[in-house]
Amino acid sequence: DSGVTQTPKHLITATGQRVTLRCSPRSGDLSVYWYQQSLDQGLQFLIHYYNGEERAKGNILERFSAQQFPDLHSELNLSSLELGDSALYFCASSAQGTSIVHEQFFGPGTRLTVL
C-alpha cells in the first residue's frame, strides 16, 4: 500500500458526460501528479500540482481540468467524454515539488469506461 488513495476504483459512464476522479496523496506529500494509461499506450503525464499550484502540464486535453485543494487532495475533471477517454487514470504523490530525485508513489488507479 503506497498510502495514496484514489476514488472511485471503477467508473462507467456515457459519451458526453462529465466525471470527477479524486486523489488523496500520502500524508505530508505536497505534490500530486496525474497520469493516463490507455490501451496500448504507456503512462502519459497529464498534470502536476504542488501545494495547490499547477507546476507542469503534459498532453492534457482542454476538456480535462484538475485542481489541488488546501487539504492537498486533488481532483481530475473530465468533461464531454469520448470513447477514447476510456483508460486507467493514476494519481501519484511525492514529497517535494521536483521530479528529479524524488520517487513517486502511485495510487491504485481509477478505471474509466466510456460507453
Partner 1 sequence: ILNVEQSPQSLHVQEGDSTNFTCSFPSSNFYALHWYRWETAKSPEALFVMTLNGDEKKKGRISATLNTKEGYSYLYIKGSQPEDSATYLCALPPNDYKLSFGAGTTVTVRA
Rounded to a whole number of angstroms, the CA Rg of the chain reads 13
Decide if residue 25 touches partner 1 (CB under 8 A).
no
Q: CB 25: neighbour CB atoms within 10 A?
A: 27
Give 17 or 47: the residue with its C-beta nearer to partner 1. 47
State the cell numbers at 21.
Answer: 476522479
Decide if residue 14 touches partner 1 (CB under 8 A).
no
Q: Which of 109, 110, 112, 114 binds partner 1 (CB under 8 A)?
A: 109
Decide if residue 45 touches partner 1 (CB under 8 A).
yes
Decide if residue 102 touches partner 1 (CB under 8 A).
yes
Give 14 or 101: the residue with its C-beta nearer to partner 1. 101
What is the distance between the alpha carbons of residues 50 and 72, in angstroms, rounded to a whole number? 9
Compute the least distance from the CB of residue 32 to partner 1, in Å: 12
SS3 15: coil
Q: Which of 50, 64, 68, 72 binds partner 1 (CB under 8 A)?
A: 50
Backbone φ, ψ for residue 47 (5° rounding): -160, 155
